[in-house]
Amino acid sequence: MTPAGDPHVVLVTDRAFLPWCATAILSCVETATTPVTVHVVHADDVTAADRDLLRQVVEPAGGAVRFHVLDAGDLEQLPTKGAALGGRMSWGRIVLADVLAELDRVVYIDADTLVFDSVHRVWEFPMEGAPVAAVVNVTEAARRDHLRSLGFDDPREYFNAGVLLLDLAMWRAEGAGDALADVARANPSLSWFDQDALNIVFAQRWRPLDPRWNVMFSFWLWADVAGELLGADAVASATGDPGIVHFEGPPVCKPWHYLCPHPLRDTHRAALARTPWARTPLDDRTFGTRLIARLPTPWRLPAYSRLLAYRERLAQRSRPASYR
Ligand SMILES: [Mn+2]
């Protein structure tokens, strides 16, 4: 059964992630061929002026926007990813059934995405009684022990949580929000945080979306692994005609990082340039990274890893001995 009406999309952000959130939203509303309602679930550091700027992104492009403040107390006890990756914000996914109490279905997209095709095609995907639809995560061989430790022997059983279609009515009926919070508190060192928790709670109960709805950087970086898990033809057609591109991975994989090597980095930057956050400077554009940018492409990321390790040693040396 497909839902009645026009699509509802939700993103979760704090003030630091607003430029990227606004870029994802702009791309989503502009590519939609049906009117979209965008729900922005935000931390309490987002101001009324910020919300006005987001309205200026959505409304001229033909969408509607609704804001929902996230109660920081709900997330306080959960582990953080660190400031550069949005802190605790991604845990906002686990409270969506409560925050969006008026909705029975929603398309969730990360703030580190760029939309290329009308989101109503995801919204209308037949869930056939599943609480979640998502794309298989491209897990490289070195991380498969982690999946096995969670009970996933086949990496195709583990989804990426950057783009999700959620049956919120079912989440409420089964108390999924509480189950997710319980898993998080019982396993405080889950290495992939809420994505692990979502996979544990919805194990064997999610439906696979076409990979073009969550085209991860790993489709390019590890094309052989992606092909093994998703099929080489599906990966090739996803990168050739993406629905939603997801800039997953460490900070250097984000298009707002000075050294980002992603093939669609400039497309993202061009979209950002059409938002009120156009003047946001790139991350880590420093003397050291400008030197690295002049190296041949294959040398850049290894050189950047060494720069990060060097900075870490400096930081440790400058800390008082008692903090080491
Ligand atoms: Mn992401």
Alpha-carbon distance of 185 to 197, in angstroms, equals: 10
pLDDT for the residue 324: 44
Is 151 in the same domain as 300? no
Q: What is the mean pLDDT of residues 185-192?
A: 82
Residues 126 and 77 reside in one and the same domain: yes
Average the pLDDT over 237-265 and give the result.
Answer: 95
Within this chain, do residues 206 and 310 fall inside the same structural domain, yes or no? no
Ligand 1 center from residue 258 Cα (angstroms): 18
Distance from the alpha carbon of residue 101 to the mean position of ligand 1, in angstroms:
24
Closest CA to 111 of 220, 10, 218: 10
Number of domains in the chain: 2
Q: What pairing do the DSSP bridges indicate for beta strands 215-216 and 244-246? A: parallel
- Whether 295 and 319 map to the same domain: the answer is yes
Question: Are both 159 and 308 inside the same structural domain?
Answer: no
Residue 69 CA to residue 105 CA, distance in Å, equals: 19
Instruction: Assess whether pLDDT exceeds 60 at residue 321.
Output: no
Question: Which pTM was predicted?
Answer: 0.93
Count of all residues that appear for the chain in the document: 324
| Cβ atoms of 119 and 7 closer than 8 Å | yes
The predicted model gives 298-305 an average pLDDT of 90
Give the whole-number percent of the chain exceeding pLDDT 90.
79
Distance from residue 113's CA to the centre of ligand 1 (Å):
7
With a CB cutoff of 8 Å and minimum separation 6, the contacts of 125 are 2, 133, 165, 207, 209
Q: What pLDDT does residue 85 have?
A: 67
Dist. CA 83 → ligand 1 center (Å): 14
The confidence score (pLDDT) of residue 298 equals 87
Q: In what order do the strands lie in the sheet with 215-216?
A: 113-115, 244-246, 215-216
If asked whether residues 187 and 294 sit together in one domain, one would say no
pLDDT at residue 2, rounded to an integer: 61
Q: Is the pLDDT of residue 258 over 90?
A: yes
Contact (CB, 8 A) for 16 and 132: no
CA 161–ligand 1 middle distance (angstroms)? 8
CB 64 within 8 Å of CB 35: yes
Handedness of CA 32, 93, 199, 245 (dihedral sign): positive
Indicate if 276 and 317 belong to the same structural domain: no
Same domain, 225 and 246: yes
Q: Given the structure tokens 């790993």, which residue do they identify? A: 218
Residue 176 has pLDDT above 80, yes or no: yes
| 47 C-beta neighbours (distance < 10 Å), count | 12
Same domain for 168 and 300? no
Using the mean position of ligand 1's atoms as its centre, give its distance from the Cα of residue 162 in Å. 5
Mean pLDDT (the chain, rounded): 92
Last residue of a domain, one of 248, 266, 282: 282
Higher pLDDT, 82 or 208: 208
Express each pLDDT in 94-129 by its tens digit. 899 999 999 999 999 999 999 999 999 999 999 999
**Is residue 323's pLDDT more than 60?**
no
Residue 276 has pLDDT above 70, yes or no: yes
Report the separation in Å between the CA atom of 86 and the middle of ligand 1, taken as the mean of its atom positions: 10
CA of 318 to the centre of ligand 1 (A): 32
Distance 293 CA to ligand 1 centre (A): 24
Q: Evaluate if residue 59 carries a pLDDT over 90.
A: yes
Domain of residue 147, CATH code: 3.90.550.10
- Compute the distance from residue 246 Cα to the ligand 1 centre, in Å: 6
Looking at the fold, whether 223 and 317 belong to one and the same domain comes out as no
Average pLDDT over residues 230-252: 96
3-30 CB burial, b ≥16 within 10 A, e <16: beeebbbbbbbbebbbbbbbbbbbbbbb
Going by C-alpha positions, the residue among 47, 35, 43, 46 that lies closest to residue 7 is 35
Within the chain, residue ranges assigned H as helices are: 18-31, 48-58, 72-75, 96-99, 120-123, 144-149, 168-174, 176-186, 193-201, 218-221, 223-230, 232-240, 265-272, 287-292, 297-318
Mean pLDDT within 235-243: 98
Co-location of 143 and 257 in the same domain: yes
Specify whether 42 is located in the same domain as 173: yes
Please give the distance, rounded to the nearest whole angstrom, from the Cα atom of residue 142 to the centre of ligand 1: 20
169 CB-near residues (< 8 Å, 6+ apart): 104, 105
- Structure confidence at residue 318 (pLDDT): 78
Parent domain of 189: 8-282
Which residues have their alpha-adjacent CB atom under 5 A from ion ligand 1? 110, 112, 162, 248
